[in-house]
Amino acid sequence: MLNGKLLSNVTAGYCWDLKTKERFDNPLYLEGFGYKVYSQNDEDGIIHEILKRIGVSSGRFIEFGVQDGLESNTHCLLHYGWSGMWIEGSKRYCDAIKRKFHHVIQCGQLKVVNAYVDKNNINEIFTENGFSDTRGGV
């Protein structure tokens, strides 16, 4: 016989399975499309699905707080030919990015900015690094 706590856990697990099944069966939900290549969780797959749904196959990105860049949400986009900017507050991490991503930085595909972003400097960081024109889309 199951004790009360175990039975409660089994019931909670079953309820969770029912709720997640409804979400996974709905094609509008993104969780089922998630997969990890370079992101920390399933963001690579979710980003890919969002871009597919809106019909965007190339463009530019900006990501803040990428640490050394190896587990970031836009690292995979570099491999698809996108260009962009990573903004990282730690000089140590920026130095690591510059070593590990030397080729894409050198060819101009990736710009790395060592700064902490706040409401007072974000527009300046974008403008100084060529990301102030929003008329061109993504």
Q: What is the pLDDT of residues 19-39, one digit of tens each?
A: 777 777 888 889 889 999 999
For residue 70, pLDDT over 50 is answered with yes
Q: What does the angle CA 135 – CA 56 – CA 42 come to, to the nearest 5 degrees? A: 120
- Given a contact cutoff of 8 angstroms between Cβ atoms, the answer to whether 81 and 58 are in contact is yes
Q: What Rg do the C-alpha atoms of the chain give, in angstroms?
A: 20
> Per residue in 37-68, pLDDT tens?
999 999 999 999 999 999 999 999 999 999 99
Q: What is the pLDDT of residue 133?
A: 67
Q: What is the pLDDT of residue 31?
A: 86
Q: What is the pLDDT of residue 135?
A: 53
